């Protein structure tokens, strides 16, 4: 297949595109590359690409593709809160417009990177795809709005699929340190503390970034009637953890560390447990291969090898929100998060 991957230079995209190429697909990326200065490790996979903001995509950019995998977004809650209107412009309106154009030019599958954060404040009940949405941030709301609006575009020739990813973890060339397991291991390696910023009680389902990529790949060959206009939680039911339980896994992985709670840590409104049986049943080609303990070990080894420092992952080098603020203050981005210069 010929596939366009938006956000191909992001956390998931830099893992997904080599996987697709290895499977024999023709892959083109589209990205404005806000995090060009945030590469972790040995560099990015090189593929044909369109350097463009997702808000500026034209129908001609989408012609000739069999599938569009839409990952490009402002990718976390703090960044989404920086300017909620901008979050909705990029994460919601641009995503819906992209789907309309894809349908217009004959793309048959539109695979959208949604999120289990759409469930938001959900408590202890285990949630299927039929559970009500209860997002608590602009980021979560934007994902709900895309699913709602793009679902209405479904037709005999255009199949949208919504992948509600669990909280990601794992090593990537565009590694994120603002997600729970990645962050806990980084604190443990650099300070000897498994530092918990909440009270440790919230539930999180977690999934390795490679397994998210496997879910996207599996949607390409799945029978249309199994996935057409469907939402799928992406993860493994056994991989639901309280934050404090993940901290214990990290403590057992990183030698000589101890768990510490922030003095001002409070319950996080974002707490949800998720059931992942549907994707296993409807798309058996999706075979996740990671669990939290193996992932913590992978992260530990990568951090030790790279020599990452606390002020790097809690500062503008790798922290998404701080990096964007740095680019804004330097005048490299305008207030609409468009490049003024590449510096």
Whole-number pLDDT of residue 187:
96
pLDDT surpassing 90 at residue 214: yes
pLDDT surpassing 80 at residue 60: yes
| CB 234, CB 215: distance < 8 Å | yes
Which segment of 126-140, 172-186, 265-279, 302-316 scores lowest on mean pLDDT?
Answer: 265-279
Length of the chain: 343
- Quick one: average pLDDT of 194-221? 94
Residue 43 backbone class (left: φ over 0; alpha: ψ -120 to 50; beta: rest): left
pLDDT surpassing 90 at residue 263: no
- Quick one: average pLDDT of 310-319? 91
Place of tokens 């397994």: 211
Per-residue confidence band for 41, with pLDDT thresholds at 50, 70 and 90: confident
Place of tokens 């992209």: 98
Whole-number pLDDT of residue 343:
44
Which segment of 154-158, 172-176, 211-215, 323-327 scores lowest on mean pLDDT?
Answer: 323-327
| CB 122, CB 72: distance < 8 Å | no
CA gap 80, 151 in Å, rounded: 23
Three-point CA angle 113, 165, 264, nearest 5°: 115
| CB 320, CB 175: distance < 8 Å | no
Whole-number pLDDT of residue 120:
85
More confident residue, 198 or 313: 313
Question: What does pLDDT average to over the chain?
Answer: 94
Per-residue confidence band for 78, with pLDDT thresholds at 50, 70 and 90: low
| CB 110, CB 159: distance < 8 Å | yes
pTM: 0.95
């Amino acid at each position: 297949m010929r596939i366009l991957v938006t956000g191909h230079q992001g956390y998931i995209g830099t893992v997904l595109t080599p996987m697709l190429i290895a499977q024999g697909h023709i892959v083109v990326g589209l990205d404005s590359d806000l995090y060009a200065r945030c590469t972790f490790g040995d560099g990015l996979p090189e593929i044909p690409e369109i350097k463009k903001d997702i808000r500026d995509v034209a129908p001609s950019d989408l012609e000739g593709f069999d599938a569009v995998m839409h990952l490009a977004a402002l990718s976390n809650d703090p960044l989404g809160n920086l300017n909620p209107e901008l979050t909705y412009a990029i994460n919601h309106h641009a995503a819906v417009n992209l789907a309309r154009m894809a349908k217009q030019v004959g793309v048959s599958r539109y695979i959208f990177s949604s999120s289990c954060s759409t469930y938001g404040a959900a408590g202890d009940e285990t949630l299927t795809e039929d559970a009500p949405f209860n997002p608590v941030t602009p980021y979560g709301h934007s994902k709900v709005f895309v699913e709602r609006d793009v679902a209405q575009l479904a037709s005999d020739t255009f199949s949208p699929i919504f992948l509600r990813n669990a909280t990601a973890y794992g090593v990537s060339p565009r590694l994120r340190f603002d997600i729970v397991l990645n962050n806990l291991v980084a604190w443990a390696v650099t300070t000897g503390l498994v530092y918990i910023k909440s009270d440790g009680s919230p539930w999180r389902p977690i999934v390795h970034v490679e397994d998210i990529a496997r879910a996207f790949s599996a949607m390409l060959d799945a029978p249309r009637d199994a996935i057409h206009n469907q939402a799928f939680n992406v993860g493994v039911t056994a991989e639901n953890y309280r934050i404090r339980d993940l901290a214990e896994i990290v403590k057992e992985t990183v030698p000589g560390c101890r768990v510490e709670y922030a003095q001002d840590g409070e319950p996080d409104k974002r707490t949800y447990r998720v059931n992942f049986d549907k994707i296993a049943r409807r798309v058996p080609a999706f075979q996740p291969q990671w669990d939290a303990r193996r992932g913590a070990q992978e992260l530990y080894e990568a951090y030790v090898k790279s020599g990452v420092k606390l002020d790097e992952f809690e500062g503008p080098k790798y922290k998404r929100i701080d990096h964007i603020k740095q680019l804004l203050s330097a005048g490299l981005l305008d207030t609409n998060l468009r490049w003024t210069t590449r510096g």
